[in-house]
Each structure stands twice: as structure tokens, then as C-alpha cells.
A and B are shown apart, each in its own frame.
Chain A
């Protein structure tokens, strides 16, 4: 066993020279990054710099946008994300996603969480499915609030509860990577802190990539921070280094609130 105390974690995902185009317009320039396993990596940067675009590269959600073209390689273990052989359906089962605006299905709370396991055929029986739903809701810290109203409409939950439901829905499929695009931007400070705690807890089991506009949030929840500017990855390193001793002056300016 390694005896180094401050050992670097294993690499979970490796992105190399990723370029993304919307039609003629280039949104990302040669982005290369190594994402650590079981850690939280924060993507920060001014609006329109390509954070969401980059995040969507990992589970091929850019496929949905007709004008969007992705180049470069993203390897997750031996899976080549951008390869034509890779089935996006399988990929998205392995990489869950939580969106900026809570987007529960207009169905019951139970149906929301059960949908993923159901389409992937993960549960053999009704009891197993029930267990999976309960387990996911517990992991998302929502079980206590909804245990006795699983049959209620999910749209009747509060914004923060809906977002945690979306997290539960994503982890019910059993992914090992979670993508979160500004998951707290529609929430108040209390709901935000609940989600942040949740992220720290989920980090034990998942590799989490999170886009955020809040420096404080990035500083609180992440181990690694990547700063993007106009489609390029300007700085990437340990969060405490990026925030205390930024190497790049653009990063410095952004963090201290001079741009963005």
C-alpha cells in the first residue's frame, strides 16, 4: 500500500484537446483535464465561457443540439465517450446529470425516482424497486420529508426538495459520476446549504463535476477547481491553491470579483 499521506487520488476521467463548435462558432478551445475519482471538481468562470458546454460533453448531452459538434477525446476508464461505438444510453446510465433548474417529471415522487431503474431493468421485483427508491431518496437526504407521500405529485414539492429529488432520480440508476450544472442557482441559501452538505456526502461514493457561479460554494464543496475563460481552461488545480494563490491573473481578477 501507498504510505504517502497526501496521496493524489486516481484519475477517473481524462479529457484531451476537447473542442466544441456550435455551427461555425467555437465554444471550447483545446480543453484538457484530468478528473480525480471520488472528489468534487468545480467549474467556474464568467457567463458564456463554456462551462455547461463542457459538462455536457461528458454524457454526450450535446448530441441533442443539432448544431453542436464535439472533437477530442474523453476517456472514462477504457470507455471512449465520443466514440461512435459508445452507446449514449449506456453512458448516461453511468454518468448521472442534475440540471440547473429542478426538472422533475410531472408524475409522482415515486415514479420520478423509479423511472431510471425501470427503463434500465435494474429491479427484478416490486420490492426491489421500492428498496431502490427508498435508498436513493435516503442518499439524497429527502426520505424523511417524503416517505409518507411518495404517491404525491413531484411538482408539488418545494424548489429545494425538487432538486434533491432530481439528485435521487439521478443516483437511483447507480452511476459513478454525477454532473451538476448550477444545481443551487434556483434555490434559497438554506436549501443551498442542504444540497452542499449532500454533495460532500455523495463525494464518498461518486465523482462529482459541478458548475457554479458562487465562489464560496466552489470553495466549500470542491477539492479541485477549474477556471474557464472564453472557451479555454485557464487554470486548474487544488481548490485551496486556486482560491488563495491563483497563478493566472484572469483567475485572480475573477475570484476577487473584478470580472464576471
Chain B
């Protein structure tokens, strides 16, 4: 039965209090809505700047993923390159004038171009390193094709730019890097289907070069990887030991406070200062090799050290003291408590801190320039003391070059660097998720 129940009403004073709270409510809700809007606006701004940045980089760089090639028909004089038994003689192959061979074959296809200057202009369509590329191609194949063969040869970077629409035909001829005559030749080659765009594998397999079409990012990548390897090897154990000492053993007092303040200061020191330090101490005092990933790694380790120490201390502190007490209460020594219980629980945090520190180091340019990792190096480094450069430095070098083609490669290199950075940051997040322990 639905008997209406006589419900008790609060007294007048309580009623008035509730009313007052209700009146203020509108304002409070409006304030929190406003704050929410500001937050969303801030995030949208940040994301749109990021989007603009990425769009710029990608639109500048995506064309570098392809390279223009030109088909040439030529006959390779096997007798000048082989031993008597038919195998390729590396010495002969190295001394042979491959460029001359290619150029002659190419000029022969344009018999009406006879003036020396015109011939020279025609030759500029070819990459300056075409001969070297052809030699590597033949050496890799291990045998010399008999008779007339068609080979695809890289064009010069100017032709490459024209094909990718990065060179404006309508520009005044004097301001263009290709003359009307050259463009005419190229158009006729295109009409003959003898020009193509292919995947630019050189970019991922070569080191730096004077010619954009022969330049690659592998040398710098290997240099970066080597330097970071040294960085982790040095910075991680030192930082973890320092953090454990500071958290568990350091007697509280002025000295410890002083160390603590200075670790935080160190984290804020501009990176170029670490470069100067490396230059003065590692190169100047210890006489270590210039441009070496070993020294680069050492400098970056100094720079990363405070980041990892701070992260490690934070994650050690995040381990509940009850765990430490449990271990100590059983008669574990401080070191045993730290190694058996605290560090394993702090490991995900330490790992994330390390990855973030390393990601920072990966993008660092200034200290590496100071210790000479900015040199022009055409070989992929094989050991830690070989001269090398690093990804961000390579980007810096290329973006500073006059050739449009280098600029394009610089953007592609940025994409490579960003890929590494994003991978590292994502793995840091995933690792943290995976190992996060609840207690």
C-alpha cells in the first residue's frame, strides 16, 4: 500500500544553510567548466603545433625516400678488368675510369652535341659518383656482363629535384640550377622512358657524401648507437650506485645536502658545457681520439647521469618503506635489502628514467660538435674509436648545405631520428605498464 509517509523536514537553520550552498553551486560549476575549457584549449594548441611541425618535416622529406635514375646502354671492357682466368681483378677495377666509360656511352647517345661546353652540360645530368656506383654494382655481381648492357645510373641531385617537382621550371634560367638545354635533354629522356624514380636504398646503407644522391644516414645512425651504448654502459651502473648510496648509506648532513643540490644543478647545466668539458678533459688531458663515439658516449653519459640518478632515487623512494623494514627486520643488511628487494621493485622506474635520459642524449647535438663528431665522414664507423658523427649532428650538417637535395635528406633524417625517439618513449611507457607492481 502506498501510504504517504510523513517525512521529517530539516529545521529552518539547516534549510537556510543548504540554500546558501545551492546558490554558490552555479558559480563553482561555471568555474570548473571554464578551467576545463582552458585545459582543452592548451592541449589543442600544443597538438596543432606538433601537427604543423610533423607536416612540415614530412612534406619536406618524404620525397627523399626515392631517387631518380637514368638508363644507359654501355659495353664494359671485360679484358681491362679481369685476371686471365676471368675473375675480376680488384686493383684493375679500382683504377679503371668508370666515370669516363659512362660519360662516353651517354654522350654517344647525343651525337649532335659536340661543343665542349654542351657536352659538359650534358654530363652534369649524371651523378658524379655514377662510376663508383657502377663499380660496386659489378663487384657485387661478381661477373662482368658481356656485350651491350642496359644499366640504371643515378642522376645528379639537380635532375632528381626537377623530377620531384622541387625545381621550378618557370624560374628565370639564370637563377635555375638546370639550363633550358639540360631540361630539354631530360624531357626527351623522360619521353623515352629512360628516367625512373626508385626506392633510395643508398640513404639507409651509406654514410655521408659530398653528393646528395650518394649520402646516407647509416654512418650517423651507427655513430649514435655506439655513443649511446657507451652512455648506457657508463651512466646506468654509476647512477644506480650513486642513487642507492644517497638513499641508503649517505649520513644525513651538509655533505649529503651539498651533493644532492649539485646533482640537481648538474641536470640543469646546458649540454654544450659538457661538450667543453669533454673537449678539455677527454681530448685535451687524456688525449683520446677526436670524433670518436667512445668520447661522445662518455660526454653524453655525464649529461645523462643526473637524469638517471634523479629517476632512480624517485623510484627507490616509491617502494614502500614497509618492504625495507621487512627485510631489515629479518636481519638483512642494508645492501641486501637494497639489492634483493628495493632495486627489483624500483627497476621499472629506473628503466624508464634511463630510456628517457638516453632519448635526451640521442637528440643532443652541441656537446658532440664540441668533441669533433661534426666532421665529414664517408665511412660507417666500425669501432668505438673510429671517427663518426651522430644523427642530430648529421641533420645539422645537411640542413646547412646549399643543395636542395641535402635539405630534403635532412628532413628524412629527422624522421629517422623521431622514429627512434618515439620508439624509445613508447617502450618506456610500455615497460612501466608491464612491470608496475601493485602492493
**A interface residues (Cβ-Cβ under 8 A, vs B):** 59, 61, 64, 66, 89-93, 96-97, 99, 101, 103-106, 115-116, 119-120, 155, 166, 169-170, 173
Determine if A99 and B325 form an interchain contact, defined as CB atoms under 8 angstroms apart: yes
CA distance A169 to B345 in the complex (A): 20
Q: Once bound together, how far apart are the Cα atoms of A104 and B252, in whole Å?
A: 29
Name the contact of A155 in the complex, choosing from B327, B332, B336, B439 (C-beta under 8 A): B439
Tell me whether A173 and B330 are in contact (CB under 8 A): yes
Give chain A residues whose Cβ lies under 8 Å from the Cβ of B329. 59, 61, 92, 96-97, 99, 170
Contact A90-B331, Cβ < 8 Å, known A105-B341, A115-B340: yes
Across-interface contacts of B326 in A (CB, < 8 A): 99, 103-105, 166, 169
**The residue from A89, A96, A116 contacting B333, defined by CB atoms under 8 A apart:** A89
- Chain B at the A interface: mostly helix, strand, loop or mixed? helix
Q: Which residue numbers of B lie inside 8 Å of A, CB to CB?
A: 252, 320, 322-333, 336, 340-341, 345, 437-439
A90 neighbours in B (Cβ, 8 Å): 331
- State the CA gap A64–B331 with chains docked (Å): 13
Determine whether the beta carbon of B330 is less than 8 Å from that of A64: no
Choose among A61, A89, A104, A169 the residue with the greatest number of B CB atoms under 10 Å from its CB: A89
Least distance between B348 CB and chain A CB atoms (Å): 12
Looking across the interface, which residue of chain A has its beta carbon closest to that of B437?
A106
Closest Cβ–Cβ distance, residue B317 to chain A (whole Å):
14
Pick from A66, A96, A101, A106: contact of B330, CB under 8 Å: A96
Known: A61-B325, A116-B331; 8 extra A-B contacts, CB below 8 A, are A64-B328, A90-B331, A91-B331, A99-B325, A115-B332, A166-B326, A169-B326, A169-B330
Q: What number of residue pairs across chains A and B have CB atoms under 8 A from each other?
A: 63
B330, closest chain A residue (CB): A116
* In the complex, chain A residues whose CB is within 8 Å of the CB of B320: 103
Smallest beta-carbon distance A103→chain B, Å? 4
Per the bound structure, the CA–CA distance linking A169 and B329 in Å amounts to 10
Residue of B nearest to A98 (CB): B329
Q: In the docked arrangement, what's the CA distance between A31 and B439, Å?
A: 36
Q: Do B322 and A173 have beta carbons less than 8 Å apart?
A: no
Q: Which of A91, A92, A96, A101 contacts B322 (CB 8 A)?
A: A101
* Distance of A97 Cα from B330 Cα, bound (Å): 7
Q: Do the beta carbons of A119 and B325 come within 8 Å of each other?
A: no
A193 vs chain B, min Cβ distance (A): 24
- Between A and B, 16 residue pairs with Cβ closer than 8 Å are A61-B325, A61-B328, A64-B325, A64-B328, A66-B252, A90-B331, A92-B329, A92-B331, A93-B331, A99-B329, A106-B437, A115-B340, A119-B331, A119-B332, A119-B336, A173-B330
For residue A92, which residues in chain B have a CB less than 8 angstroms away from its CB?
Answer: 328-331
Residues of A within 8 A of B439 (CB): 106, 155
Give the distance in Å from the alpha carbon of A96 to the alpha carbon of B328 in the complex: 10
- Which chain B residue shows the least CB distance to A155? B439
Nearest CB on B from A105, distance (A): 6
- Chain A residue nearest to B341 (CB atoms) is A105
A59 to B326 CA separation, bound complex (whole angstroms) = 12
Residue of A nearest to B333 (CB): A89
Q: How far is the CB of A122 from chain B (nearest CB, A)?
A: 11
